[in-house]
């Protein structure tokens, strides 16, 4: 997926913790409402292990704006009932980044 604007992650790890996402208790599918935090401003995430610019995002994932800070986004599954928690983490590992100087 091509990104329309630069977006950054603090650190280069993309692994969801169970408390970061919401899953359907019956199916373990990750709901497309909460996900891995990212930000438009590299300076806001630098303290979390450096600012890494996302250069590739799998088509199974999307980035949505979330929260009061209009520059804060989250990476979530593209659609409901698409990925289990394990599959979501597998897709997150496919994200490619470069370190921002």
> Is there a domain that residue 91 lies in?
yes
Whole-model pTM: value is 0.91
> Is there a domain that residue 87 lies in?
yes
β-strands 8-10, 51-56 pairing: antiparallel
> Cα-Cα-Cα-Cα dihedral of 21, 66, 2, 79, to 10°?
50
In angstroms, rounded to a whole number, what is the distance separating the alpha carbons of residues 35 and 30? Answer: 9
> Is there a domain that residue 93 lies in?
yes
Split into its structural domains, the chain has a count of 1
- How many CA atoms lie less than 13 Å away from 25 in the CB half-sphere? 0
> Is there a domain that residue 1 lies in?
no
> Is there a domain that residue 3 lies in?
no
Q: Which of 19, 69, 16 is nearest to 39 (CA)?
A: 69
Q: pLDDT (tens digit, 9 = 90+) per residue, 10-49?
A: 999 999 998 899 998 898 899 998 999 999 999 999 999 9
Provide the domain limits for residue 66.
8-99
Q: Place 1 in a pLDDT band, splitting at 50, 70 and 90.
A: low
H helix or E strand, kind and range, residue 65: strand 61-65
Bridge partners, residue 21, by sequence = none
3-class SS shares of the chain: helix, strand, coil, % to 5: 20, 30, 50
């Amino acid at each position: 997926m091509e990104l329309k604007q630069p977006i950054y992650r603090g650190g280069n790890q993309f692994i969801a913790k169970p408390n970061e996402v919401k899953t359907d208790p019956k199916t373990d599918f990750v709901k497309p409402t909460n996900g891995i935090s990212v930000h438009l401003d590299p300076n806001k995430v630098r303290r979390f292990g450096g600012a890494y610019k996302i250069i590739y995002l799998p088509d199974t994932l999307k980035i949505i704006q979330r929260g009061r800070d209009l520059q804060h986004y989250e990476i979530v599954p593209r659609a409901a009932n698409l990925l289990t928690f394990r599959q979501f983490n597998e897709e997150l590992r496919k994200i490619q980044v470069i370190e921002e100087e």
